[in-house]
Chain A
Amino acid sequence: MTTTTAEPTLSFDDALAAYDPAMGLEVHVELGTNTKMFCGCPTEFGAEPNTQVCPVCLGLPGALPVVNEVAVESAIRIGLALNCSIAPWCRFARKNYFYPDMPKNFQTSQYDEPIAVDGYLDVELEDGSTYRVEIERAHMEEDTGKSLHVGGSTGRIHGATHSLVDYNRAGIPLIEIVTKPILGTRERAPEVAKAYVATLRDLLKALEVSDVKMEQGSMRCDVNLSLSPAGAGTLGTRTETKNVNSLRSVERAVRYEVGRHAAILAGGGSITQETRHWHEDTGITTSGRVKSDAEDYRYFPEPDLVPVAPSEEAIEALRATLPEPPAERRKRLQAEWGYGDLEMRDVMNAGLVDLIGATVAAGASPTAARKWWSGEIARRANGEGVDVPTYASRLGVTPAHVVELEGLVTAGRLNDSMARQAWEGVLDGEGTPTEVADARGLELVQDTGALEAAVDAVIAGNPDVADKIRDGKVQAVGALIGQVMREMKGQADAAAARQLILARLGQS
């Protein structure tokens, strides 16, 4: 198929030697409201086609839209969380276009009067530095229907004889968040783009306004990119790559478009302002339609809806509902838990923050919480292709199990290797840590006579090491502890063994 032929690209390094990238990111997020933006139809994902539609979202004559109050509140909360100013008065507008994904022949959106303007989002990069992404606007609109193209071999529009449309999604509340040009990122452009989308996703999740599932399309990203000659400080012609729907793809799409633009410009060509389609499988973009001018959409204020004019009190009341920003929460928890930067990043990347928080709240130490949630269970969850919280809830393994396991260790019943066995039993569905320890006969030998006999035998067998310890080289005790543990077949408490050896050799 000609449309997926890859175009020439320059390597990323060569591209950056000659050009500066500028980006603009547009993120659409579907709100998690019970009903649509302008009617009471439900918004369940995956419902049977055309079962969540009514005269309003089908655009039938005479139907009148009414705004969903929770959607407006969510839009304002998103705006506030992005440090935006909230418009004291704004309107919806009709964006007119003839395409069967909107049965009304227009999309109800906002044009020159968005609900939120001029904000920013601080984005933390891999090396711990922060890049501030300026937010141009966040506005309210509605999602479109879904088309199925029939007759083409691939389900795409090429070769299709006709299209089948399901309007369940038409009218679901969307917030579109648009950045100002993201400049000066140079080789970090792909990283900044990805980090921005990830940070935004975490923020929206914390706000509980959307389930932000990129794979289900409830959060979608369009990547605008242009190049200008290095150091020129100008803006080149941009392309808009649509529907880049995973964090990794955001990074790849930026990288690809940088290389593609650079190859065209370096060859003396010019960039066509157009939309590009992202191909997840091949990691390339292909030409879409030539971008319509805004005036072709003939925007005008929506006459069927009255203005939205939130009072200052209403805005402040919503501000009071904002959660702690994820970045600040992360810093606070890291300090509270005493984790290093790397430990915290691993915990974040594994999606363990909430689980560890719950485990610490249930009485475990932060160290034990991290240790047990990121070891064997992470390996098993990974094998199942799910994250640890999902896997744990599937198994019915809870923070209380970790608290109990740590309790068995601190009480001296289990040593570390026994605790690992008990945890494996818990993950195998054998019960609570105590039940597993009972069933598997896991118990440190509390018989001091047996431990003393083992210690004495090991000291007798290693007179040289014993002498060193007597002379003050306490660190040599490790070798003897190991032997005692072997004598005891692992059933001894290493700390007790250490104490006893040192006592016997006059070092305690």
Chain B
Amino acid sequence: MADLTRDDVAHLAGLARIDLSDAELDRMVGELGVILEAVATVQQAPIADVEPMSHPMPIVNVTRPDVVRPSLTPEEALAGAPEAEQQRFSVPRILDEE
């Protein structure tokens, strides 16, 4: 597979909203490259006559009836939130969006 470039890493970091310094970017190019190389081994698997699968069980149509089940209380829902305000999750503003 094509080598991972510094631009690729910067782009991925942007999508993941991770702020990387120049030094970190350089290091990640190398580290991620090693990981990709290791994972790339699976591409050698003989899959010519194997159907792609996204689920280990060969089953379809697992559904539930459209019946309401109890929700969490707002206190429970917000319990894990670092910040909450007006019964809502408080999150940092997203820069350079919209």
Q: Hey, which chain B residues are within 8 Å of A307, CB to CB?
A: 54-55, 60-61
Chain B, range 12-33, C-beta contacts under 8 Å to A: 15-17
Chain B, range 44-72, C-beta contacts under 8 Å to A: 54-55, 57, 59-72
User: In angstroms, how far is the closest chain B Cβ from the Cβ of A222?
Assistant: 15
> In the complex, which of the residues B15, B55, B72, B87 contacts A98, with contact meaning CB atoms closer than 8 Å?
B15
Q: Is A54 located at the chain interface by the 8 A CB criterion?
A: yes
Q: Is B7 located at the chain interface by the 8 A CB criterion?
A: no
Q: Hey, which chain B residues are within 8 Å of A54, CB to CB?
A: 69, 71-72
Q: Is A328 located at the chain interface by the 8 A CB criterion?
A: no
Q: Is A10 located at the chain interface by the 8 A CB criterion?
A: no
Contact yes or no, B61 A50, CB < 8 A = no
Write out, one digit per residue, whether chain A residues 302-325 have a CB within 8 A of any chain B CB (1) or not (0). 110111111000000000000000
Q: Is A53 located at the chain interface by the 8 A CB criterion?
A: yes
A35–B57 Cα distance when bound, in Å, is 26
A284–B96 Cα distance when bound, in Å, is 21
Contact yes or no, B54 A91, CB < 8 A = yes
A75–B8 Cα distance when bound, in Å, is 38
> In the complex, which of the residues B63, B64, B93, B98 contacts A289, with contact meaning CB atoms closer than 8 Å?
B98
Q: Hey, which chain B residues are within 8 Å of A48, CB to CB?
A: 74, 87
Q: Hey, which chain A residues are within 8 Å of B71, CB to CB?
A: 41-42, 51-54
Chain B, range 76-97, C-beta contacts under 8 Å to A: 77-78, 80, 83, 85-94, 97
A277–B98 Cα distance when bound, in Å, is 8
Contact yes or no, A49 B68, CB < 8 A = no
Contact yes or no, B66 A157, CB < 8 A = no
Of listed A70, A151, A310, residue having the most chain B CB within 10 A: A70
A310–B61 Cα distance when bound, in Å, is 8
Q: If A53-B72, A163-B93, A277-B98 touch, does A306 touch B61 (CB 8 Å cutoff)?
A: yes
A7–B78 Cα distance when bound, in Å, is 43
Contact yes or no, B88 A161, CB < 8 A = no
A4–B62 Cα distance when bound, in Å, is 48
> In the complex, which of the residues A35, A41, A49, A149 contacts B93, with contact meaning CB atoms closer than 8 Å?
A149
Closest to B16 in A: A98
Q: Hey, which chain B residues are within 8 Å of A151, CB to CB?
A: 93
Of listed A147, A156, A160, A309, residue having the most chain B CB within 10 A: A147
Contact yes or no, B94 A71, CB < 8 A = no
User: In angstroms, how far is the closest chain A Cβ from the Cβ of B35?
Assistant: 16
Contact yes or no, B77 A34, CB < 8 A = no
User: In angstroms, how far is the closest chain A Cβ from the Cβ of B76?
Assistant: 9
Contact yes or no, B74 A157, CB < 8 A = no
Of listed B68, B87, B92, residue having the most chain A CB within 10 A: B68
Contact yes or no, A69 B55, CB < 8 A = no
Q: Hey, which chain A residues are within 8 Å of B98, CB to CB?
A: 156-157, 277, 288-289
Q: Hey, which chain B residues are within 8 Å of A52, CB to CB?
A: 71
Q: Is A72 located at the chain interface by the 8 A CB criterion?
A: yes
Q: Is A188 located at the chain interface by the 8 A CB criterion?
A: no
Total B residues in contact with A, Cβ cutoff 8 Å: 38
Interface residues of A: mostly helix, strand, loop or mixed?
loop
Contact yes or no, A41 B60, CB < 8 A = no
Q: Is A100 located at the chain interface by the 8 A CB criterion?
A: yes
Q: Hey, which chain A residues are within 8 Å of B78, CB to CB?
A: 50
A70–B63 Cα distance when bound, in Å, is 9
Contact yes or no, A148 B88, CB < 8 A = yes
Contact yes or no, A163 B91, CB < 8 A = yes
Q: Hey, which chain B residues are within 8 Å of A21, CB to CB?
A: none
Q: Is A58 located at the chain interface by the 8 A CB criterion?
A: yes
A96–B17 Cα distance when bound, in Å, is 12
Q: If A42-B71, A157-B97 touch, does A49 touch B65 (CB 8 Å cutoff)?
A: no
> In the complex, which of the residues A33, A58, A164, A302 contacts B85, with contact meaning CB atoms closer than 8 Å?
A164
Contact yes or no, B88 A308, CB < 8 A = no
Q: If A35-B66, A50-B74, A54-B71 touch, does A164 touch B57 (CB 8 Å cutoff)?
A: no
User: In angstroms, how far is the closest chain A Cβ from the Cβ of B9?
Assistant: 14
> In the complex, which of the residues A34, A156, A164 contacts B67, with contact meaning CB atoms closer than 8 Å?
A34
Contact yes or no, A50 B87, CB < 8 A = yes
> In the complex, which of the residues B64, B67, B94 contacts A163, with contact meaning CB atoms closer than 8 Å?
B94
User: In angstroms, how far is the closest chain B Cβ from the Cβ of A153?
Assistant: 14
Q: If A41-B68, A49-B74 touch, does A306 touch B89 (CB 8 Å cutoff)?
A: no
Q: Hey, which chain B residues are within 8 Å of A166, CB to CB?
A: 87-89
Contact yes or no, A162 B93, CB < 8 A = yes
> In the complex, which of the residues A97, A164, A306 contacts B15, with contact meaning CB atoms closer than 8 Å?
A97
- 22 intermolecular pairs with C-beta atoms under 8 Å apart: A40-B64, A40-B67, A41-B71, A49-B88, A53-B77, A58-B72, A58-B77, A67-B64, A68-B63, A69-B66, A89-B60, A100-B89, A100-B91, A156-B98, A157-B97, A162-B83, A300-B54, A306-B57, A306-B60, A307-B60, A307-B61, A310-B61
8 additional contacts, CB 8 Å, given A34-B67, A68-B64? Answer: A68-B66, A69-B63, A157-B93, A162-B91, A163-B92, A164-B86, A303-B54, A307-B61
Which A residues are within 8 Å of any B CB, using their own CB?
33-35, 39-42, 48-55, 58, 60, 66-72, 89, 91, 96-100, 103, 147-151, 156-157, 160-167, 277, 288-289, 296, 298, 300-303, 305-310
Which B residues are within 8 Å of any A CB, using their own CB?
15-17, 54-55, 57, 59-74, 77-78, 80, 83, 85-94, 97-98
Closest 6 CB pairs of A and B: A40-B69, A301-B54, A164-B88, A69-B63, A70-B66, A309-B60
